[in-house]
Chain A
């Protein structure tokens, strides 16, 4: 399956964008206990005020259909950060592989902030 380009089947074309995978990653990350959400900088919050949809999650897919994800996170205060990061990596890997049949190579997490639950 090629991403960002059309794949033809008997019934028609299938197209999955990186933004769709980014949404999937965002949902999978938010499911993990201890995650407050995906980090958004001041600039992105400003853009969102004007109605722009900006995704901070970076998804890359190489020629062999391996997925690489960069995920900036805000975690809740009181949780063990490496544990939360590990769980997020596992959950994201499972969710993406289940939904797209692609193999996820790297899930790079950057914890940008710690906030009260």
Chain B
């Protein structure tokens, strides 16, 4: 597959250079519509040329797919924390740390919703949290507790010694009473149907 990756990079560099040259040629009036039509006629001239064009198209699709995999694979690979043991390497996806933060955050009853974004850089691990709280929460106390719990949990579960910076953004505060009232309203008693019970034994 490595050969496809090499081909993909060369191919994309080549295509982009060709587009650039084509645009420059167009601007200098060196590339005329007749030239493009002539190329089109040549490609469709006989069965051999048509097959060559079809196979080239197929190759382009395979190379593009390979290129996309390469890029996505690199992106995924970068988003991990790695350490080595005697038996091999252990990598922990940053999304796994996000799961961990979510689970530990939901143990605090004042938190209604929690989303986090974890970044690992030279400074350490930076956690950006977006939290929806219930109204009765004391914000300074709660946020301090949340930071403490998250930091302890990350250190305890992942055994990391890096600095952990936790930033909390409270995106919403929800009124619990309002929510309960709304829930009660939605379960209103249905109006009695006249003679609804008539005839029942």
Contact = CB atoms under 8 A, between A and B. Distances in A.
Interface of A: 69, 75, 77-83, 85-86, 89-90, 93, 104-116
Given A109-B90, A110-B80, A111-B91, A89 B85 contact: yes
What class of interface size applies to chain B in its complex with A? 20 to 34
B195 to A, nearest CB: 52
A85 B90 CA distance: 7
Interface centre among A86, A93, A105, A110, by most B CB within 10 Å? A110
Contact of A80 (B80, B91, B159): B159
A56 to B, nearest CB: 13
Interface in B86-110: 87-93, 95-97, 99-100, 103-104
B39 interface: no
Nearest to B77: A110
Interface string B92-135: 11011101100110000000000000000000000000000000
A81 B158 contact: yes
Given A78-B157, A82-B83, A109 B88 contact: yes
A33 to B, nearest CB: 14
